[in-house]
Amino acid sequence: MPLETPPPTIAARVASLNARYRHHSATSVLERALFDPELGQVALVSSFGAESVVLLHLVSVLAPGTPVIFIDTRMLFAETLDYQRRLAETLNLTDVRTIRADERDARRADPDGGLHRTDPDACCALRKVAPLERALAGFDGWITGRKRFQAETRAALEFFENEEDRRIKVNPLAHWTRGDVEDYIVNNRLPRHPLVARGYPSIGCAPCTSPVAAGEDPRAGRWRGRGKLECGIHFVNGRAVRGPLPARGDAGNGLKETTR
């Protein structure tokens, strides 16, 4: 009796998907993630931050019932919480799941609420990484709004990523520029996060986010002075990203979707 061919590994599937969709638009990649049985069950993870409305709007048009996971660290700006509720209603997102750190874990690891000052990595692990890992346990993949232009750590970002041989991570907007994002928001008359107008182009937890001056990198206000660029929910080669990566070669020539 002939042996059954084993199913392709996640790494092989990711390589195949990136080769197939290298020159496709964000919408094509997103449709693949939402409707292709090969990817299984997927969720969108959103911070409801400065640029989140773009991907949330795309999902609302294609499949408004898609599970949307929102991490409430209990340290977010009040404006972010209001914006999350407003967008969910405006875009008719019907399955928004708010997740938080386990209260027992929070009391044990951060009894006085000051962990973000002494060990911001540990605070992110407690309030973001652990809750998200629990929330994604039942999914085969997840969709993010990450883009190459946002940071050095994202300069070579692909549409599809292998997350430690456990899940496929999908980045439909990987090749978009800052101008593409702005054009999409304007052309679709989408509501902006209220803090953007007050000098916050990248928005995280209130204690670890500060306004950005003209000419500064848009993410300069995140963990200012800490040498920290990512919260840890994203991984490179199986490790949580904490700081800049070594310079890499050409970031690729994937065609971005036209939004003008």
Residues designated as active site: 231
Closest CA to 147 of 76, 225, 252: 252
Q: How many residues make up the chain in this entry? A: 260
Q: Are the beta carbons of 73 and 103 closer than 8 angstroms? A: no
Residues 86 and 190: beta-carbon distance below 8 Å? no
> Which ranges of 101-246 would DSSP assign to H, the alpha helix?
103-109, 115-118, 120-124, 130-135, 178-187
**Three-state DSSP class for residue 206:** helix
Q: Which two tokens stand for residue 1?
A: 């009796």
Contact between 142 and 136 under an 8 Å Cβ cutoff? The reply is yes
Of 34, 97, 103, 33, nearest to 70 (Cα)? 97
- What's 205's DSSP letter? B
Residue 20: which region, alpha, beta or left (left: phi > 0; alpha: psi -120 to 50)? alpha
Structure-block tokens of residue 181: 């994002």
